[in-house]
Amino acid sequence: MKILSKILPLLLLLITSSFFSSQAQVGASNQESFTSIIISQTGLDFVKDLLITKAISSIIPLALPKIERAVKIPILGNVRMVLSNITIYNIDVLSSYVKPGDTGVVFVAYGTTCNLSANWFYEYTTWLLPIEISDHGIASVQVEGMQVGLTLGLETQKGTLKLSLVDCGCYVKDISIKLDGGASWLYQGMINAFEEQIVSAVENAITKKLKEGISKLDSLLQSLPKEIPVDDHASLNITFVDNPLLTSSSIEFDINGLFTARKKASIPNYYNSNLQPPVFCSDQSKMLGISLDEAVLNSASALYYD
């Protein structure tokens, strides 16, 4: 790294003369874009897989609120059943996709399954007997055919990337509940009455957790620096310019991309804002494409030349 830091200024000085002879000196605006970065569908799929893996690891274990159901049986008495310590401890995503669109970037995971554990408690009281009948054990819940989807909005705000949640939802197709411990065979039919409540609890908990995760991710993006130090003399301006451009198979980000002096010295800027080429990434096997305007090299060569 030290060798590179010594050679880089010399290489840039050799390039300087060819650029200086063909460019006119004008003042560069910090609000202009000189570097474009395009993420192809392959790159989006790679990012999606990373986000899903990270999301799952941050979600589980996920505790759900206690579920209670009481039934009053005429003449016979009252029946009360409780599911407590309900926890999602495993989530498997069978398939997923990401797609940019007009309203934002759509993430969908489908065919998802998750496993829950819980404690169950049964209580029966009646005026016919002076005693209370109760039982307890553990329960395992299998959630199948779950689909999770969210749409993220992207925009540039004060030079940083702003992430907003446009839409978010979770849908559970089917669940199965199995009781163990005590006289579980006796209460198995009754516990099935909890299915709708469990489904609702799972859907609400995962949706809430995703919203919290997107909020944290947005805060992280807002805290990112607007320039990256290159060495003791220069920094790279990574201020976002204009809103991201979304197509059906890619996302393009425009950043300033110029080299600036870390000591804020007055450095002449040599560039031609009309020379920035559009970014093309026709090979979808490539995850990332980067386009640099000549002004980026000019700003570096002018900085090190000074």
The whole-model pTM stands at 0.75
Query: What pLDDT score was predicted for residue 91?
Result: 93
* Cα dist from 289 to 154, 281, 296, whole Å: 19, 6, 16
Query: What pLDDT score was predicted for residue 13?
Result: 38
User: What is the pLDDT tens value at each position of the chain, 306 positions in all?
Assistant: 443 344 333 333 333 333 333 333 333 445 677 888 899 999 999 988 888 888 888 888 999 999 988 877 766 678 888 999 999 999 999 999 999 987 789 999 999 999 999 999 988 887 777 777 888 899 999 999 999 999 999 998 888 889 999 999 999 999 998 888 877 777 777 777 788 899 999 999 999 999 998 999 899 888 888 888 888 888 888 889 888 888 888 899 998 888 888 755 444 444 444 444 444 555 556 788 888 888 888 888 887 776
CATH of 61-223, one of 3.15.10.10, 3.30.450.40, 3.10.20.440, 3.40.50.620: 3.15.10.10
For residues 257 and 296, is the Cβ–Cβ distance under 8 A? Answer: yes
In which residue ranges of the chain is CATH 3.15.10.10 found?
61-223
Please classify residue 7 by burial: count the beta carbons closer than 10 Å to its beta carbon, then call 0-12 exposed, 13-18 middle and 19+ buried: exposed
In whole angstroms, give the CA distance from residue 236 to residue 229: 6
To which H or E segment does residue 53 belong? helix 41-59
